[in-house]
Each structure stands twice: as C-alpha cells, then as structure tokens.
C-alpha cells in the first residue's frame, strides 16, 4: 500500500530521518505522471534536504534530477557539480556517471575520453579493493601464490572461469611480487567473457593504464561498460520516463 508507506515515511521525515526523505521522494516520483507536478516538486525538495544532510543517495540523485530537468530546468553544470560532490564522497555511481557523461558527450558536454576513463578507473579501483580483499582468502586456500602450483592452476583456469578470476586478480595485483599482468589479462578475459563483473573491471583498469597490454582507452571503455554493479540504480530507474531517452 503506497499510501500507507507514504504516511509512515512522512512521520519519519518529521523526525529528520534522511533515508526516509529519499524513500518518500522515490514513492512520490513513482506515483507522478508529470515531470513538473506537485509530487515531483515535493520529491525534489526532499532529495535536496537529504543531500544537504550528506546522504550519498540524495547527492547522486540531485545530479540526476539536474541532468534530466526533473522538477527544474536541465542544467548539466549543476549535474556535474553534484556528481563530483558524490565522487568526492567515494560514491562509485557518481564516478561512473561522470565517466559516461565525458566518454559519450551526454547533455552537450564535450566528449573527453581521457577524463571519462579516469573516472571509470577511480570507480573500478574502489570496487576492486573489495574484490582483492575477498580474494586474499582464496589465494591461501588454492595456493595461488605458490609458483610450483601456478602453472597447473593456469591450465585448469582455461575451462574454469571462477578459478580464472581468482588467479587473474592475484596476478594483476600490483602488491604481489610474482604478478604477471599479461597472464592476468588472458585469465581475466576467460572470466569476463562469461559475464563476471570483477573480471571486466580489472581488465578495464589494465587497458586504461597500459598494464600487461598497450594502453587502449577504447578497449578499457568496452570492459567498463560491462560491469552492471556500476550502473545507476534505484531512484533513477523510477524517473527515466520523464527523460527524453533512457540512460545509455
């Protein structure tokens, strides 16, 4: 019951609950059929309150509202300002959105491949810290750091995307003395080709930096686009019907 949900969210908003502001805004936008209706105006105000209070979700969505002219005139400079603020707060969604804007020249912004790739790399690096942390356990379990066992692992990984990811991430890690970026790329492609997001992320970073292969921004962008975890989510999917076209 959306009406009941709104009632409870409004009570929480009265108590200054930031998440309730964003959630209520989502409900209002979801129930509105016009881009400049009273509900949209209220939703924009709630998101602004959340952003002013430091909510990463609200800050990101302020950028999206400005980018698409929802509850306000379209303003790409304002959108970029909010996305950059989100990126400063380590929001990977904001970093990825900035990457897309510059790579694709969205909203009349001049295309700047180098700047766009730079934002993609920042987002990927943050995500890969988590991947590397989780992979540390697998390194011990599978003995990936043992040179005597590595050749056998590499052979088995050719038909095992999960093992290819584990070994590829290990060999790509710049903290490892025995890293082998060329072999890492070969293994990561095995995993990325079957849709493993972390493999696509790592490949994007390596091609962007020329690590294990010649630097190639076009190839890097191709891999960055394949990672669904860096796509914008949540509120944005609810308000795309107010835009001229869906998100790229």
Is residue 153 very low, low, confident or very high in pLDDT (cuts 50, 70, 90)? confident
Burial class (CB in 10 A: 0-12, 13-18, 19+), 41: middle
Task: Indicate the pTM of the whole model.
Answer: 0.85
Share of the chain above pLDDT 90, in %: 62
Taken in order of first residue, the domains within the chain and their CATH numbers are: 2-89 (1.25.40.10), 113-230 (1.25.40.10)
pLDDT of 246 above 50: no
Instruction: Give me the pLDDT at residue 37, please.
Output: 78
The answer to whether the CB of 108 falls within 8 A of the CB of 102 is no
Backbone angles phi, psi at 174, to 5 degrees: -70, -10
Q: Which of 52, 106, 104 is nearest to 79 (CA)?
A: 106
Instruction: Give me the pLDDT at residue 177, please.
Output: 83
Greatest mean pLDDT range, 129-138, 218-227, 231-240: 218-227
pLDDT of 171 above 80: yes
Tokens 């990101």 correspond to: 60
């Amino acid at each position: 019951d959306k009406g009941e949900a709104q009632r409870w969210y409004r009570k929480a908003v009265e108590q200054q609950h930031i998440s309730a502001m964003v959630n209520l805004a989502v409900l209002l936008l979801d129930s509105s059929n016009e881009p400049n209706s009273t509900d949209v105006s209220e939703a924009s105000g709630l998101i602004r309150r959340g952003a002013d209070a430091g909510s990463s979700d609200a800050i990101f969505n302020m950028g999206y509202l400005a980018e698409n002219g929802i509850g306000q005139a379209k303003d790409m400079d304002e959108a970029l300002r909010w996305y950059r603020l989100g990126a400063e707060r380590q929001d990977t969604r904001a970093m990825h959105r900035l990457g897309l804007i510059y790579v694709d020249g969205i909203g009349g912004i001049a295309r700047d491949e180098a700047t766009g790739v730079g934002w993609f790399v920042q987002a990927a690096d943050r995500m890969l810290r988590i991947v590397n942390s989780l992979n540390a356990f697998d390194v011990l379990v599978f003995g990936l750091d043992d040179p005597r066992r590595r050749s056998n692992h590499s052979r088995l990984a050719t038909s095992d995307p999960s093992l290819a990811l584990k070994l590829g991430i290990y060999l790509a890690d710049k903290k490892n003395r025995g890293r082998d970026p060329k072999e890492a790329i070969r293994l990561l492609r095995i995993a990325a080709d079957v849709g493993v997001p972390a493999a696509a992320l790592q490949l994007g970073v390596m091609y962007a930096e020329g690590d294990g292969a010649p630097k190639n921004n076009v190839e890097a962008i191709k891999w960055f686009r394949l990672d669904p975890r860096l796509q914008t989510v949540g509120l944005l999917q609810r308000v795309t019907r107010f835009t001229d076209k869906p998100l790229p």
